[in-house]
Amino acid sequence: MADQWHAPLRRIKGAELTGDTMQTSGMTRLEAISGKAVGAERLWMGRTHVAPASGSGDHHHGDTETAIYVVSGHPVFVFADGEREVRLETEPGDYVFVPPFTPHREENPGEQEAVVVIARSSQEAVVVNLPSLWTPVDEA
């Protein structure tokens, strides 16, 4: 019998992920764990795909922390540090941490699709699309 201390586990098959979540141009986000999908209260988790030789639009994830695990491909995570653009090149097995309100974008310069698993400290996929990496958060 389920109660607040003994809630049942939930299995979400990879084929059951939905794209019914906030999107950013140049990438596809698929939702697995969220408030609406499974009743999560403090976590969002999903998978993102970036096509070869492409990239996403600039965006941030509001007040949520984001953890990224690179499954395949060699995505590049781009963010602004003052007036310079910083590029974090990654490979399968790498992790990336994105602090709250940090404008960034994902690029895939490679010849194969880049796939990453994302976890956020929110039950929903908070996405704020931006015109540039240098857009002040309060104008987003």
H-run or E-run covering 96: strand 95-98
Confirm if 108 and 3 have CB atoms less than 8 A apart.
no
pLDDT tens for 75-94 read 999 998 988 999 999 999 99
pLDDT tens for 100-109 read 999 999 999 9
Look up the pTM and report it: 0.85
- On the question of pLDDT at 4 being above 80, the answer is no
Ordered domains of the chain (ranges, CATH): 26-124 (2.60.120.10)
